[in-house]
Amino acid sequence: MMKKYALFGLIMVLAVSIAAVGCGSKKTTHIVTPTATQVVSTPTSEATEEPTATQETNEAVTATSLDFTIEYVLEGQGTFTYQYRARNIGTNDLDFRVDMSAPQMNAIYILKGSTHQGWVYSGGQWFEFTTMYQNWDEFWDAWYESFEDYHDALVEDWTGVEGWTYTVPGVGTVTYTNVDINPSLPDSVFQPD
């Protein structure tokens, strides 16, 4: 059954802050940044239809790369969609990318644990994380925590059901779609476009 999760160390709605970035121009860009805000709750499994397991063993447990989409419906706040792509899972060279779509904002975060580089795409521009943040470890920890929370849910409870949904009482629902185990993710996925 579901275990207690530190609900997505990164809940974008609760963690939005505005940062002004001037990369050689006077233009101000709004950047979504994570905080350590956590909501602890016990999710309950609530599928929209009677789910049928599509795998005998959970392949997410041993995956070294993943590509999956999360649709997070936060009560009273709207729908937030995150596409997570990660490679080198379980190593110190973990690289991951989060493409986020939320009401009135879109952003992309790329973090390369292999080289300690990171980029943020917002307002139609790519920014190296060092232009907005001073500390790699803080930037990494905040975003890694959100990836780990979603990854842990896949590892602990997913049975291969497309559209797997669970509810966090009083907060909202989380639905996993397009889960691809061990996809080939080229270097270009983890570089600014």
CB atoms within 10 A of CB 13: 15
What local confidence, expressed as pLDDT, does residue 67 receive? 98
On whether the CB atoms of residues 115 and 96 are closer than 8 A, the answer is: no
CB atoms within 10 A of CB 74: 19
Query: What tens digit of pLDDT does each residue of 80-95 get?
Result: 999 999 999 999 999 9
pLDDT band at 148 (very low <50, low <70, confident <90, very high): very high
Residues in contact with 92: Cβ distance below 8 Å, sequence separation at least 6, in sequence order: 113, 114
Residues in contact with 94: Cβ distance below 8 Å, sequence separation at least 6, in sequence order: 86, 87, 88, 113, 114, 144
pLDDT band at 47 (very low <50, low <70, confident <90, very high): very low
Q: Taking residues 100-121, what's their average pLDDT?
A: 91
The whole model's pTM is what?
0.74
Task: Find the angle CA(186)-CA(189)-CA(193) to the nearest 5 degrees.
Answer: 130
Beta strands in 103-183 (DSSP E): 105-112, 117-122, 125-128, 164-168, 172-181
> Rounded to an integer, what distance in angstroms lies between the CA atom of residue 159 and that of residue 32?
32
Q: Taking residues 85-111, what's their average pLDDT?
A: 94
Helical ranges in the chain per DSSP H: 136-157
